[in-house]
C-alpha cells in the first residue's frame, strides 16, 4: 500500500473537471445567445456577428455533446473551445476596426478574455504559447485593418494602446497564475512532509503517529455511524534472536518483507502500520468479527509458509480486539494487547481473541 502518491508537476495547471467544463459551455452558449438577442432586438447587429453567433453556439453545443459521450480527450475539447472563443473575439474586433464596419462596435472590450480563458482551459505551458500567439495575431490583425483607412501615426497609436492594455492583462494574469503555482507547491511540500511524518521509513507503512490518526477516524466512524473496526496487534516471534544471530541488517530486511506481506494480504480499506520494534498493526474496517479473525489466521499461516529476509520458519503471534465488544478505542487496543500477550505466553504462532479465551476456559472447565 503506497501511502505517498505522486503528484503532477506544479508548473502545470490542473484541467477543469468535466462537469465544471460542461457548465462553462452552457454558460458560454447562454451568453452568446443573450448578446445575439440584444444586438438583434436593438437593430445594431453586424453582418459578421449575425453569422458568427450561431456558429459559435453550434460549436459549443457540439463540444458539450462530445464531452458527454467521451469520444474526444478533455485536452482537445478544451483547446477547441479556446480556439472558438479566441478566434471569434479576435476576428470580430479586427473586423469592427475596419472603417466601414466600425459603427456600434463593442468587440474590443472582450479581447482580454482570450488570455483569461487560455489559463482557465489549458495547461500553463500551452496557455503561454497560445497567449503569445493570440497577442501577436491581435496586434498584426488590428494594424492591417486600420492601416487601410487611417494614417500610419493614428494606426500605430491605436495598435500601441491595444498592445499596452493587453500586456497589462497578461502580466497581471501571469502574476496570479504564478502566485497560485507557488501556493500549490507550498501545499504539496507541506502535504509530503506531513505524509512522511506518518510513514515508517524502513517498512514504508504507517508509523505510530500515522496509526494513531487512523485510530481516531475509525473510532469517530464507530461512534457516529456504527462502522465496526478491529485491531490486529501482531508480533514477530523471537525477533531478538534474529538480530542476535544474523545481525540487524537481516532483521531490517525481515521487517520490510513482513510489512510488504501485510500490505499484500490486506485490502485498500484496511490500514497497516508498525507500532514499534517488531510489532505491527492491521486496522480492519467494516468487517464482521469472524472475517477479522479469518484475516488474522490467514496472515499467520502465510508467514509460517513464507521466507522473510531470506529466513524460513518464522512465525507471528496476533491478538485481536473488536470495537463492538469494547466501550472505547483504548479498551479495544488494550484487549488486543492482552490477547497478544496471551498468544505469546501460551506458545506463540497463534491468533487469540475473546472467543478463543472463552473456548479455552470452557475446555478447561470440561476437563475438570
Q: Which of 98, 16, 102, 29 is nearest to 60 (CA)?
A: 29
The band of 11, judged by pLDDT with boundaries at 50, 70 and 90, is very low
Q: What is the pLDDT of residue 106?
A: 56
Q: What is the pLDDT of residue 122?
A: 84
Q: Which of 286, 347, 281 is nearest to 319 (CA)?
A: 281
Q: Which of 288, 289, 290, 286 is nearest to 226 (CA)?
A: 286
Answer whether residue 119 shows pLDDT above 80. yes
| H/E run at residue 156 | helix 152-197
- Could you report the per-residue pLDDT of 236-245, keeping only the tens digit for each? 999 999 999 9
The band of 68, judged by pLDDT with boundaries at 50, 70 and 90, is very high
Mean pLDDT of 313-318: 95
Q: Please give the mean pLDDT across all residues of the chain.
A: 87
| Secondary structure (DSSP) of 309-336 | TTB-S--EEEEEEEGGGSSSHHHHHHHH
Mean pLDDT of 90-95: 88
Answer whether residue 22 shows pLDDT above 70. yes
- Could you report the per-residue pLDDT of 35-48, keeping only the tens digit for each? 899 888 888 788 88
- Could you report the per-residue pLDDT of 120-147, keeping only the tens digit for each? 888 888 888 999 999 999 999 989 988 9
Q: How many residues does the chain have?
A: 368
In the chain, count of helices (H) and strands (E)? Answer: 12, 5
DSSP state of 205: S
Strand-by-strand arrangement of the 271-276 sheet: 271-276, 279-285, 229-236, 316-322, 351-352
End-to-end CA separation in angstroms for the chain: 48
Rg for the chain, CA atoms, rounded? 34
pLDDT, greater one: 61 or 178? 61
Amino acid at each position: 500500500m503506497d501511502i505517498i502518491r505522486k503528484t503532477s508537476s506544479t508548473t502545470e495547471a490542473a484541467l477543469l473537471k468535466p462537469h465544471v467544463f460542461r457548465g462553462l459551455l452552457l454558460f458560454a452558449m447562454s451568453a452568446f445567445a443573450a448578446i445575439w438577442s440584444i444586438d438583434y432586438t436593438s437593430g445594431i447587429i453586424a453582418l459578421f456577428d449575425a453569422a458568427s453567433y450561431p456558429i459559435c453556439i453550434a460549436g459549443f453545443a457540439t463540444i458539450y455533446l462530445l464531452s458527454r459521450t467521451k469520444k474526444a480527450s478533455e485536452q482537445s475539447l478544451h483547446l477547441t473551445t479556446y480556439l472558438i472563443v479566441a478566434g471569434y473575439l479576435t476576428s470580430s474586433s479586427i473586423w469592427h476596426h475596419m472603417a466601414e464596419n466600425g459603427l456600434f462596435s463593442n468587440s474590443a472590450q472582450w479581447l482580454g478574455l482570450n488570455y483569461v480563458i487560455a489559463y482557465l482551459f489549458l495547461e500553463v505551458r500551452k496557455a503561454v504559447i497560445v497567449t503569445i500567439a493570440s497577442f501577436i495575431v491581435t496586434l498584426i490583425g488590428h494594424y492591417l485593418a486600420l492601416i487601410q483607412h487611417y494614417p500610419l501615426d493614428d494606426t500605430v497609436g491605436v495598435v500601441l494602446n491595444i498592445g499596452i492594455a493587453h500586456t497589462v492583462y497578461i502580466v497581471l494574469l501571469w502574476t496570479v497564475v504564478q502566485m497560485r503555482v507557488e501556493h500549490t507547491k507550498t501545499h504539496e511540500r507541506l502535504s509530503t512532509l506531513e505524509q512522511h511524518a506518518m510513514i515508517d521509513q524502513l517498512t514504508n507503512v504507517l508509523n505510530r503517529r500515522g496509526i494513531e490518526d487512523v485510530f481516531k477516524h475509525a473510532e469517530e466512524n464507530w461512534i457516529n455511524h456504527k462502522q465496526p473496526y478491529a485491531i490486529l496487534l501482531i508480533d514477530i516471534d523471537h525477533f531478538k534472536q534474529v538480530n542476535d544471530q544474523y545481525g540487524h541488517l537481516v532483521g531490517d530486511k525481515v521487517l520490510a518483507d513482513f510489512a510488504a506481506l501485510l500490505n499484500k494480504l490486506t485490502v485498500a480499506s484496511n490500514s497497516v502500520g508498525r507500532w514499534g520494534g517488531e510489532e505491527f498493526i492491521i486496522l480492519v474496517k467494516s468487517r464482521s468479527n469472524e472475517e477479522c479473525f479469518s484475516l488474522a489466521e490467514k496472515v499467520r499461516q502465510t508467514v509460517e509458509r513464507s521466507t522473510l529476509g531470506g529466513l524460513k520458519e518464522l512465525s507471528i503471534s496476533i491478538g485481536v480486539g473488536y470495537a463492538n465488544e469494547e466501550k472505547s478505542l483504548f479498551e479495544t487496543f488494550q484487549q488486543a494487547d492482552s490477547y497478544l500477550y496471551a498468544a505469546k505466553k501460551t506458545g506463540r504462532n497463534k491468533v487469540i481473541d475473546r472467543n478463543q479465551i472463552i473456548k479455552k476456559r470452557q475446555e478447561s472447565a470440561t476437563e475438570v
